[in-house]
Structure 1
Amino acid sequence: MLSVVMMAALAAGAQGDVWRDDMSWRGAQAHMSETKDGRFTLTGPFGKRDIAAQGMRVDTASPLFDGLFAMAQDELKQDSVTAIRDGAFDHGQPIPCTCFETGAKWPYVWTRDLSYSIDLGLWKFDPQRSRNGLSFKLSDVRDPSLPQGLYVMQDTGSGGSWPISTDRVVWFLGAQHLLDDKVFADNVYRALNDTLAQDRQYVFDADFGLYRGETSFLDWREQTYPVWTADNVVFIAQSFALSTNVLHYQALQLGAKLAQAHGDGTRAKHYQEQAAALKNAIHAHFWRKDRGMYMSYIGGDGTPYDTYDLLGTALAITSGVAEGDAARIALANYPTWPAGSPVIWPERADQPIYHNRAIWPFVSAYALRAARVVNDPARIAHELRSIMRGAAMSGANMENYELVTQATHVDEGKLSGPVVDSPRQLWSVAAYLDMVSEGVFGLTEDGRIEPKLPASLVPMLFGERESITLRTPDRTITLRRPHALHGDLLVTDTIKQRGTETLVTLKGIDVAALPVRTDAPLYAPAAPDAPSIDKDNKGWRVQADGKVVLYADGQRVGRIDSSTYIAQGAQPPCVSVTRVDEHGIESLHSPAVCGGEPVALGDSWPRSWTAPASGRYRVALRYENNHGSIQTGVTAAVKFLVAHCGNDAPQRVPIVMPHSVGEQLSTYGVITAKAGTACRFELEQGFNMSDLSHFAHYTGGKGGIEGPLNDARIGDLIITPTTGTP
């Protein structure tokens, strides 16, 4: 007896809506025709595109599916260059590099774009070009007075780059596939040890067991973070992101594997313990039980944010951080729309289309991988169709699409977008290639063949055929449909090797997948203004504009109606508020406001202070860093604040001072002190990206060609009592 899914698929086939030669979407149509010599012609809303015969071929019942695979290979050739350029490096002059450029509008190599693209399979297509690009993103230190090492570069970015953005460890996600070259492998191991050690020193928070920093890839601040971070990214530097922590987990896992291979059992054990602890911390702090999802980021004090991103969710699943029911539920609860899955949810009604209200094919490819992990045929098919549709309707593997229409541009005045949309974007090209090789034919990264093909795709891919085939230069994979179609998901029944051909006979199985979520509201409500907090004889009184949800020191207090009291206490709380709509969706937070009068210590260093009571204290600096814009640069100022309190061991906390708009407060660290103990504070030089030799080529701002720059105008040292450990 046929399953409901299979019956629906066959019914669709009978109606002809199976995307063989043609595809229809919102009144437009794309058509693919094929010639006998392996060439294709694609016509659609964009016009006409001729596609040459390629080195790899797929042979299915769908010329559309096959031709788009050829188109992706053609675009990969266009992205394969011998020189790159960017206006901010070497005055825009070409830089020799036999590598992949990022896209038609991005003719450079960026750490995250390249690394995700290689992980999505480009390492199989051109391993040497992949290694060259990754090697371009490694650097030693140009200042001989600083600790030396080989480091992965964080590209120019938010508030002056690392350590506001800390997802540079994504480099190892790509590099792990290319270790068969000894010279490259040795550099990977060295860079891994040095980069992990540096991140542990500067961005790891022992209280939370997490790494600080911005969400990976989602680096347009006000699109995904509260709008007030547009002019102040200190919150981002202090916060914790799901995706960036999962990437650190994967880097630690690789570190343990490589240390073991190098005969360093002690270091391997150290990395294994760190990875296990990080996995537990991610579950403890990012899982939101009421949503059944992992939050995209949380505040530096652990404040939960009702916001989610698809890449972080997918990486948590594919990395093994999320397992079992948590993985299955998290993906099922992540909302989707007919055109595909948004990279963030909920959307922002006041922001233009880019990361906001958008589908990014490379993220869809990771969601497809996650769906394979949890055996979710409906989600596999949904993400596959989204990747196919976008490429077919635009005649290229575009950078991104608007969420509802899957258009490359929607005119909505100041909210129009996508704001930028590049053809042949490298990770979109990689997404299509991976969707075919792994998503359909099951070719995994270690060379195994593990197809997990939704039964709903059989009419499109097989038609009346008995088999479909992927031909690469060194192997052929043939999938043979089962004699009797049943079940939701087609998996391996038998597998035979005939020379270079792998012949897989499929069988259908029923899976207990949750339905794809299509009923979510699109937007989050707007965030309220900051509350006020004052102390009187009843305690700490918080006042806000209207009905809001109150948070204090990272904990949800509950709903209030314009004002409330927080219990009397010696510790002045830091509070923020959110707004909840009729769907129960919470806005992002207002700016946080802290009660009490902090101690401000000025003048020259060292600075002295006596603890009035035993406990934990936040320490931060008033500063101004005008060395670059909020959007870019490599000159975030990074220092160590060293506290010598009595005879106790010195306490060293990293302090980050991003590019600022006027004077503001830095990130904070936490020290402990006993009542009556005199503490002496000193300031030590830290490290930033301008210290790397690579940025001697940076001509787009300070800290580049004119030399390293890691400084800010520093004012008062601010000391505030704080609550206990998380």
Structure 2
Amino acid sequence: MLKMICLTAALGLALGSTATAADLTFDGRTARADTAADGGFRLQSVGQTVAIAAQPMRSRTDSVLFDALFALAQQEMDADRVDAIRDPAFNQGNPVPCDCFQTGERWPYVWTRDVSFAADLALARLDPQRTRQSLQFKLSPARDGHTPGLFVAQDTGSGGSWPISSDRVVWFLAARHLQDDPAFAEQTWQALQATLAQDRAAVFDARIGLYRGETSFLDWREQTYPDWTRQDVRFIGDSFALSTNVLHYQALRLAEQLARARGDARASQYAGWAAALATQIDARFWRDDAGMYMSYIGEAAHPVPYAKYDLLALSLGVLADVFPADRARRALAAYPAVEGGSPVVWPQEAQQPIYHNRAVWPFVSAYSLRAARRLDDAARIQREIASLMRGSALAGSNMENYEMRSLSVHVDEGALSGPVVNSPRQLWSVAGYLSMVLEGVFGVEADGTVAPKLPTALVPQLFGTRRSIELDDGQRRYILTRPRTLDGDLLVAKKIVRRGNTVTVHLVAQAAAGSAEPRPVASGSATAYAPATPAAPTPTARGTAWSIPIPTNHVLWRDGRAVTAASPLLLSDDGYQHCLSFTRREGALESLHSPTTCIGPQQRLRGSTTWNWTATKATRVRVRLRYDNPNGPINTGVTAAVKQLVVQCPGQPAQRASVVMPHSVGPQDSTAAEFDLPKGRCRFALEDGFNMSALAHFATYNGGKGGRDGALNQATVSALLIAPIAATDGDAR
């Protein structure tokens, strides 16, 4: 009871008491809403007045501000409806006809992950036809005319796009809501088969049991990955991200569902893949000392844990039910909160500007709200609703992102100023706000079920002295009636009465077993920032051993595991390659990993397409290519070179694996492939693969190579690097 009173008091200070429910004050700034004669609203925030027209859906609460912000989100959704899209990197910047949703005021195009997350949050239920058309814009056949299949396009991105970035399967998170249209359902099924098969071949690591590739949405590498990835994204393409793996899990479950509906025998295969993936997600990303799931882990050669956590990945995992219930509750409760809400990553990087780092993103807050509802976490529900309202009200728009302490759209800190990029009426922010009202407050799900989980802390703001509040979505009225007593921290449905188009939900207060106050951290405190990333280990050969000095407060990691040893550590040369890195410890905080240093035997075989190598005994080997790919900048493009490495050994069928050579700054190493070889001579050959420039979708791309001038999947290969490795290192567990 005391906890509920404290939360209510805190909310009253932030959002206004019932006497001033039209006002919101936060960080010394105030927003106020008034009703207008035409049934709309007028929002006055910092230095601006926003006129809000009457909208098809209306909420009626004791808070004029709440009702006005709901109308504002609808108005901004309508403004994002367009009949043509444009981007300077496509079609020479000329309009492309498309009855679509554009990404935001500053981003008048359709991007795969943006529209997909927005559709999953709210757009698929509110405007299914336009949402389908937006999603269809991101489907593409190959442009060579003979490669079969329909594929989801991975947008331009790190190192030349897919498969360094491999979260395009988020498209299926949205498409699953729109299967009532037969033509679109067939397109979804075709795209699932081709895209999943391609990803299984190119980014799935059978030994680790996970899909490789960049974190979903967190695609400005040094904002969340170590700074040494700024000019070398090979590690990102070799590593494993929680969010991207959860999205693959969801795509596999949809494939299972659609295959069963069609009587396709592959349903059991998809189900098996999904179940195995869920097991590995829980086993490999859980970090017990932090009580959270890590945002990403290292590559198969060195699968180290990383002390980086992200709210979208955590929320997606909760919603996909891939985490055990006790760990899910513990992880969401352990995820820190700051003054402005829940930051999208934790901890922050002191030398990075504000963007993903030190920021709140409304669409991620909306997913966190969904996850909190799934776990009956009243405190997190309340915090996310408050954060979404504050950001929208004070900015006068549903912005792309905010600085995490003040929820400002820009903070001037010299080189660290930010958010570096921002846009009003950002589509997924708009969708997140709509989701917050429909689901987060009124409990109305996309399938028509009604299951409110409303924190009692919100009663003074939303009900005031009213007996009920209501939502009119244009087809039905949903009325929530408050209970006489508020002797719990969560209001849930006691009885639901349906009469005609009116649904009345009688609420009752209960204690929320999963509720825990989010771990508060002052945004400017030392505990909000990770220690600086250390330099790489510097082994020195000493006869048949390696001497490795370990600096004070550093932890040495070998082949994915921490090593407890005095400095210097002596490692015997056992004939296998071993990989090393450092992290730095400062109190309870741990840095990101240093660059990786590998020791042990490695042979360099000169050549560009074929190589011969003789094994003196049966062994597992790790193989990389030495290459140069100058076909685009590190941060964008569609020309990551993707090849198939084929190994033919005596008495064995050919083995195949994909290797990726992302855009580079001079010569560097490719992603790795591993093979089990018998004794004797084996032949390695490089064959062509498939990258995003092969899709017809990119035929109008003019922002770099691989577009208007034709597909491009090339890199200059100078050598094959081959190293024997211990057969048990990193095996799936």
Instruction: Tell me if TM exceeds 0.5.
Output: yes
Cα pair 2:573 2:600 within 8 Å, conserved: no
Alpha-carbon distance, 1:38 to partner: 2.0
Alpha-carbon distance, 1:323 to partner: 3.1
CA offsets, 1:469-501, max 9 Å, x none? 010111111111012221110000000101011
Cα pair 1:154 1:689 within 8 Å, conserved: yes
Corresponding position of 1:188: 188
Q: Given residue 433 of structure 1, which amino acid in structure 2 is its aligned partner? A: L
Corresponding position of 2:197: 197
Corresponding position of 1:151: 151
Partners of 1:609 and 1:453 lie apart in 2 by 65
Cα pair 1:454 1:489 within 8 Å, conserved: yes
CA offsets, 1:572-629, max 9 Å, x none? 31101011112x2111111101112411111354311001333211011000001100
Cα distance change on mapping 1:463 and 1:567 into 2, 3 Å = farther
**TM-score, normalized by length of structure 2?**
0.96
Corresponding position of 1:378: 379
Cα pair 1:551 1:558 within 8 Å, conserved: no
Partners of 1:641 and 1:81 lie apart in 2 by 45
Cα pair 1:451 1:490 within 8 Å, conserved: yes
Cα pair 1:375 1:452 within 8 Å, conserved: yes
Alpha-carbon distance, 1:537 to partner: 4.2
Corresponding position of 2:599: 595
Q: When the two structures are aligned, how many residues end up with a matched partner? A: 720
Alpha-carbon distance, 1:215 to partner: 0.1
Corresponding position of 1:279: 278
Alpha-carbon distance, 1:11 to partner: 8.5
Cα pair 2:575 2:600 within 8 Å, conserved: no
Corresponding position of 2:690: 687
Partners of 2:434 and 2:708 lie apart in 1 by 38
Alpha-carbon distance, 1:557 to partner: 1.2
Q: Would you say 1:518 and 2:517 are equivalent positions?
A: no
Q: Would you say 1:633 and 2:637 are equivalent positions?
A: yes
3-state secondary structure, aligned to 2:590: coil
Cα pair 1:600 1:718 within 8 Å, conserved: yes
Q: Given residue 292 of structure 1, which amino acid in structure 2 is its aligned partner? A: G
1:194-273 paired onto structure 2 within 5 Å: 194-264=194-264, 266-273=265-272
3-state secondary structure, aligned to 1:470: strand
Q: Would you say 1:569 and 2:574 are equivalent positions?
A: yes
CA offsets, 1:539-568, max 9 Å, x none? 32213554311011111114755x322355
Corresponding position of 2:64: 63
Q: Would you say 1:530 and 2:536 are equivalent positions?
A: yes
Corresponding position of 2:555: 549
Paired residue for 1:669, among 666, 673, 678? 673
Paired residue for 2:663, among 646, 659, 662? 659
Corresponding position of 1:369: 370
Alpha-carbon distance, 1:515 to partner: 2.5
Q: Given residue 547 of structure 1, which amino acid in structure 2 is its aligned partner? A: N
* Seq. identity, %: 53
Cα RMSD, aligned residues only: 1.6
Corresponding position of 1:643: 647
Partners of 2:231 and 2:556 lie apart in 1 by 24
Cα pair 2:607 2:720 within 8 Å, conserved: no
Cα pair 2:338 2:405 within 8 Å, conserved: yes
Corresponding position of 2:309: 308
Q: Given residue 458 of structure 1, which amino acid in structure 2 is its aligned partner? A: V
3-state secondary structure, aligned to 2:254: helix
CA offsets, 1:277-331, max 9 Å, x none? 0000101110011111100001112111111000000000011112310110010
Partners of 2:222 and 2:238 lie apart in 1 by 16
Partners of 2:37 and 2:453 lie apart in 1 by 30
Alpha-carbon distance, 1:12 to partner: 6.1
Corresponding position of 1:398: 399
1:456-535 paired onto structure 2 within 5 Å: 456-512=457-513, 513-519=515-521, 521-535=527-541
Alpha-carbon distance, 1:723 to partner: 2.5
Alpha-carbon distance, 1:416 to partner: 0.3
Cα pair 1:3 1:488 within 8 Å, conserved: no
**TM-score, normalized by length of structure 1?**
0.97
Greater mean deviation of Cα atoms: 626-635 or 506-515: 506-515
Q: Given residue 583 of structure 2, which amino acid in structure 1 is its aligned partner? A: T
Greater mean deviation of Cα atoms: 475-484 or 607-616: 607-616
CA offsets, 1:382-417, max 9 Å, x none? 011000000001100000000111111111100000
CA offsets, 1:613-671, max 9 Å, x none? 33211011000001100010000000011111221121111100000000000001001
Partners of 2:598 and 2:573 lie apart in 1 by 15
Corresponding position of 1:707: 710
Cα distance change on mapping 1:632 and 1:687 into 2, 3 Å = same
Partners of 2:619 and 2:347 lie apart in 1 by 39
Greater mean deviation of Cα atoms: 473-482 or 388-397: 473-482
Cα pair 1:336 1:518 within 8 Å, conserved: yes
Alpha-carbon distance, 1:354 to partner: 0.3
Q: Would you say 1:580 and 2:585 are equivalent positions?
A: yes
Corresponding position of 2:440: 439
1:55-204 paired onto structure 2 within 5 Å: 55-144=56-145, 147-204=147-204
Partners of 2:613 and 2:6 lie apart in 1 by 75
Cα pair 1:6 1:455 within 8 Å, conserved: no
Runs of 4+ in 1 over 4 A off after TM superposition: 10-16
Cα pair 2:58 2:472 within 8 Å, conserved: yes
Q: Given residue 129 of structure 1, which amino acid in structure 2 is its aligned partner? A: R
Cα pair 1:530 1:544 within 8 Å, conserved: no
Partners of 1:558 and 1:24 lie apart in 2 by 51
3-state secondary structure, aligned to 1:168: coil
Partners of 1:45 and 1:76 lie apart in 2 by 22
Alpha-carbon distance, 1:35 to partner: 3.0
CA offsets, 1:193-219, max 9 Å, x none? 111111001100000110000000000
3-state secondary structure, aligned to 1:72: helix
**Structure 1, unpaired ranges of 5+:** none
Alpha-carbon distance, 1:36 to partner: 5.2
Corresponding position of 1:414: 415
Cα pair 2:378 2:516 within 8 Å, conserved: no
Q: Given residue 590 of structure 1, which amino acid in structure 2 is its aligned partner? A: S
Alpha-carbon distance, 1:177 to partner: 0.7
Q: Would you say 1:698 and 2:701 are equivalent positions?
A: yes
**Structure 2, unpaired ranges of 5+:** none
Corresponding position of 1:297: 296
Partners of 1:519 and 1:712 lie apart in 2 by 46
Cα pair 1:46 1:394 within 8 Å, conserved: no
1:16-55 paired onto structure 2 within 5 Å: 16-17=16-17, 20-35=21-36, 37-55=38-56
Q: Given residue 682 of structure 2, which amino acid in structure 1 is its aligned partner? A: C
Greater mean deviation of Cα atoms: 14-23 or 295-304: 14-23
Q: Given residue 473 of structure 1, which amino acid in structure 2 is its aligned partner? A: G
Greater mean deviation of Cα atoms: 238-247 or 614-623: 614-623
